[in-house]
Amino acid sequence: MHNRQIGPLSVSAIGLGCMNLNHAYGVPPSEADAIALLNRALDLGCTFLDTAALYGMGHNERLLNKAVMHRRSEFTLASKCVLDMYDGQRGLNGSPTAIRKTLDDALIRLGTDVIDLYYLHRLDKAVPIEDSVGELKRAVEAGKIRTIGLSEMSAATIRRAHDVHPVAAVQTEYSPCVRNPEIAVLDACRDLGIGFVAFSPVARGLLADAVHDDHYAKGDIRAGMPRFVEPQLGHNLKAVAQFNALAAEAGCTPAQLALAWVLSRGRDIVAIPGTRSIAHLEDNMAAGDMVIGADILARIDSLFEGDAIRGTRYPPALQAQIDTETFPGECD
């Protein structure tokens, strides 16, 4: 797989989002299966692993330590702070003190002295972004992290953060049916020389032919996401069916088509799909060097115009934590 540049970091065009190995999608796989998948990803040329303090309440970082830290030289390691567990409860804290503790704990859980890319997972609107980034700047100076990232933040916030310390990467949901970064974030990143990391590039399974109804397993976050439940889901699946037909026409899986579309949007973009299946992992990694014709790419764009996808990305409480720009009427 070819590499792409994210700030000073060179990483595989398709990385691996590790969240669902411990978090958010029902019962996780066994530890042995998760370890096998992580090592298979490295074997396939994936050199970018993305985790966070929040995922599995620290267990995801511990999993990476056990599974692949003996292969540390083979991959770029990304993790996140601000969203974490505070006094036994999930919370948002962008204060320097909280960031420092989360980072120090993460280094212990990961079994490493340095994290290559460390994100502010969300914007804590109670703390000036300058204060939060200032703490990460001090962590860079202390040698605890190599580069700074931002997740789900607006163009205005990105520019303020970048004034404090160069930002290497911005991570936001981006797929053929989630286009919010195109409002302003991608332009800001390109103006400032910041790489873009697309999470949920197959739309949480919607564009991987993995969602057919809203009967989710207990603990699956999609059960609380408006676009993944009725009546919105039935409407959305009509566009998804057309997308699946385009994938068949292109001779690839729907997930591969979604990933190829994301990578086609610019050489400064990498994708980090997550999966629990080694077969799906292998399909995803194969999309890294896939070339899709301009006609099909244009038809994808047309397919998801207007209200082809209805419902917000998050329920109201979580949407309130998102700083990324929204389209007119998106959150009504």
Catalytic residues: 55
For residue 266, the one-letter residue type is G
Residue ranges of alpha helices (H) inside 80-128 are 96-110
Cα–Cα dist 208/155, whole Å: 29
Secondary structure letter of residue 327 according to DSSP: -
Phi–psi pair at 138, nearest 5 degrees: -65, -35
Alpha-carbon span 54 to 19, nearest angstrom: 9
Give whole-number Cα distances, 269 to 67, 93, 255, in Å. 27, 28, 17
Cβ atoms within 10 A of the Cβ of 2, count? Answer: 11
With residues binned 3-state (H G I as helix, E B as strand, rest as coil), the percentages for the chain, rounded to 5, are 45, 20, 35
Residue 253 and residue 284: Cα distance in Å, rounded? 9
Q: How far apart are CA 18 and CA 257, in angstroms?
A: 21
